[in-house]
């Protein structure tokens, strides 16, 4: 958005902590300002991801979510206020993020991500952030990103546990390499078994950090690594995950995967 242009006085003040930061600087901030990120889901994970990416100055944020704000969302979905109950999440998120940072263009998609629209939507973005709460949408996002060669930043939370994985097609394993089918016991949703309200904030911030590092080209991304977090023991763990040669999406002998329609609403 601002690549190749000078910063205004207000932008210098707004982004000064980045501009003076070694490894970022004015050139790095312009990379952030030129970035385009699509967030699938504007709920518990999508709220902190969107808020911090907008605050950092990411030039374009796409928000796709067909749901409306519910009173039960306010326990963890920090983009919304009590007065927003009943409003479209995508539209309400756009209002909040634009008010936070007018430099950020927010595109609201009031629809569900499906096999019929996913490729058309993601082609407009540099990266995709998976902020959903169900496996059908996660597989759909993964398969589409691998096929389109788009980086995917996955996060998930349930009860007191969360994890993060970054997928760079061609450079490491994809989501299906780790979860070829939903793991036993993990098909339950937060609405069924509960969720500590602050947990999506922790995981979402890690996802946002990975996106910014990618735009800046700095640090080590969680490619081939699964970062897990247990809020009860306050422990982070990192595990190696490997690309599976027989993965139907990114393996040596790729087979055609029919991208699955979302059967549930995104978080």
Does residue 100 belong to any structural domain of this protein? yes
Q: What three-state secondary structure class fits 175?
A: helix
Does residue 59 belong to any structural domain of this protein? yes
What's the predicted TM-score (pTM) here?
A: 0.92
CATH code: domain of residue 164:
3.40.50.720
What pLDDT sits at residue 258? 60
Q: Of 133, 165, 162, which is closest to residue 234 (Cα–Cα)? A: 162
Q: Can you give the residue range of the structural domain that contains 114? A: 35-240
Residue positions counted in the chain: 267
Does residue 26 belong to any structural domain of this protein? no
Tell me how far apart the alpha carbons of residues 226 and 237 are, in angstroms, rounded to a whole number: 8
Does residue 259 belong to any structural domain of this protein? no
Does residue 14 belong to any structural domain of this protein? no
Q: How many domains does the chain have?
A: 1
For each successive 10 residues of the chain (267 residues), what is the average pLDDT?
A: 70 97 96 98 97 98 97 96 98 98 97 95 97 91 96 96 96 91 62 88 98 98 97 97 91 64 39
Reading the block at residue 166, the tokens are 């970054």
What pLDDT sits at residue 180? 76
Tell me how far the alpha carbon of residue 223 is from its chain's centroid: 15
Contact partners, residue 136, CB within 8 Å, separation at least 6: 260, 261, 262, 263, 264
Distances (CA, A) of 182 to 3, 134, 152, 176, 177: 41, 9, 18, 10, 12
Cβ-in-10-Å burial (0-12, 13-18, 19+) of 29 comes to buried
What pLDDT sits at residue 255? 61
Q: How many CA atoms lie within 13 A of 125 on its CB side?
A: 28
Asked whether the beta carbons of 211 and 61 are under 8 A apart, the reply is no
What pLDDT sits at residue 72? 96
Does residue 171 belong to any structural domain of this protein? yes
Does residue 7 belong to any structural domain of this protein? no
| Bridge partners, residue 157, by sequence | 162
Does residue 10 belong to any structural domain of this protein? no
**Residue ranges in the chain assigned as alpha helix (H):** 9-14, 16-19, 25-34, 46-56, 89-100, 118-122, 135-148, 175-178, 190-193, 199-216
Question: What are the counts of helices (DSSP H) followed by strands (DSSP E) for the chain?
Answer: 10, 8
Asked whether the beta carbons of 147 and 119 are under 8 A apart, the reply is yes
């Amino acid at each position: 958005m601002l690549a190749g242009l000078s910063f205004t006085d207000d932008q210098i003040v707004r982004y000064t902590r980045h501009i003076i930061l070694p490894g970022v600087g004015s050139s790095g901030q312009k990379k952030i300002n030129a970035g385009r990120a699509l967030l699938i889901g504007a709920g518990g994970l999508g709220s902190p991801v969107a808020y911090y990416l907008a605050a950092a100055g990411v030039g374009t944020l796409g928000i796709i979510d067909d749901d409306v704000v519910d009173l039960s969302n306010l326990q963890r979905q920090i983009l919304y206020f009590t007065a927003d109950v009943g409003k479209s999440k995508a539209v309400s998120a756009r209002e909040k993020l634009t008010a936070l940072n007018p430099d950020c263009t927010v595109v609201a998609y009031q629809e569900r991500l499906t096999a019929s629209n996913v490729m058309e939507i993601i082609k407009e973005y540099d990266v995709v952030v998976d902020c959903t709460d169900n496996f059908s949408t996660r597989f759909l996002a993964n398969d589409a990103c691998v096929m389109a060669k788009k980086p995917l930043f996955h996060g998930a939370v349930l009860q007191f546990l969360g994890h993060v994985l970054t997928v760079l097609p061609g450079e490491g394993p994809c989501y299906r390499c780790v979860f070829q089918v939903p793991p036993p016991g993990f098909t339950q949703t937060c609405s069924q078994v509960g969720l500590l309200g602050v947990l999506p904030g922790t995981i979402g911030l890690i996802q946002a950090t990975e996106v910014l590092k990618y735009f800046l080209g700095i640090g080590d991304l969680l490619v081939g690594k699964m970062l897990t977090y247990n809020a009860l023991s306050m422990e982070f763990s990192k595990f190696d995950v490997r690309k599976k040669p027989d993965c139907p999406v990114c393996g040596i002998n790729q087979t055609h995967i029919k991208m699955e329609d979302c059967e549930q609403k995104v978080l």
